[in-house]
Amino acid sequence: MSERRGMFSTIAEWVGVFLIAFAVFALIRTFVLSPFTVPTGSMEPTIQVGDTIFAQKVTLNMGHDVENGQIVVFENPVAGTEHDILVKRVIAQSGQTVDLIDGVVYIDGSPLDEPYAQGSSYELVTQAPGVEVSFPYTVPDGYIWVMGDNRENSADSRYFGPVPKENLIGIAFFRYWPIDRIGTL
């Protein structure tokens, strides 16, 4: 009888350990840190297709804004597309004016220094259904302007317009796969 009680106690202890570990994992993934696999080549050469990155959520969960130049993970503002989650670089904030002149991005009249960008930044020929973006464009309150680093191969805010801040999931900060490209972003 005591042998059964001992076995039951051991099983209950292990179940408790697994439940606690799962709860900690769920809390961390929900509020602190999540992994994401990059679905497209729009961030090349900075991030390659299939790279797996960590995005921290603490900054957003504490009510802080993202900063220009940061790489963010967000819900695709265009419903029903192949990719529900996108990764792009923040270019402008609410109230800032974006302009594209001769392939160069201007924010509030000043050209951006973008050593990370590949290709030229021109207006896209087509835009998402129902979206009309013309330049110069002032980002509305509660939104950000994002663009992929691979400017000639990126469906970004030039395509789907500004991204609502409520669509932000996290700020990308570390690539952990593949091993030969491990490092901060």
The yes-or-no answer on residue 42 being catalytic is yes
Let me know: does 77 contact 150? Beta carbons within 8 Å. no
Non-local (6+) Cβ contacts of 137 within 8 A are 97, 98, 99, 145
Non-local (6+) Cβ contacts of 81 within 8 A are none
* Per annotation, catalytic residue among 57, 88, 121, 154: 88
The yes-or-no answer on residue 88 being catalytic is yes
* Per annotation, catalytic residue among 2, 34, 42, 134: 42
Residue type, 52: T
Whole-angstrom distance, CA of residue 29 vs CA of residue 36 = 11
Active site residues: 42, 88
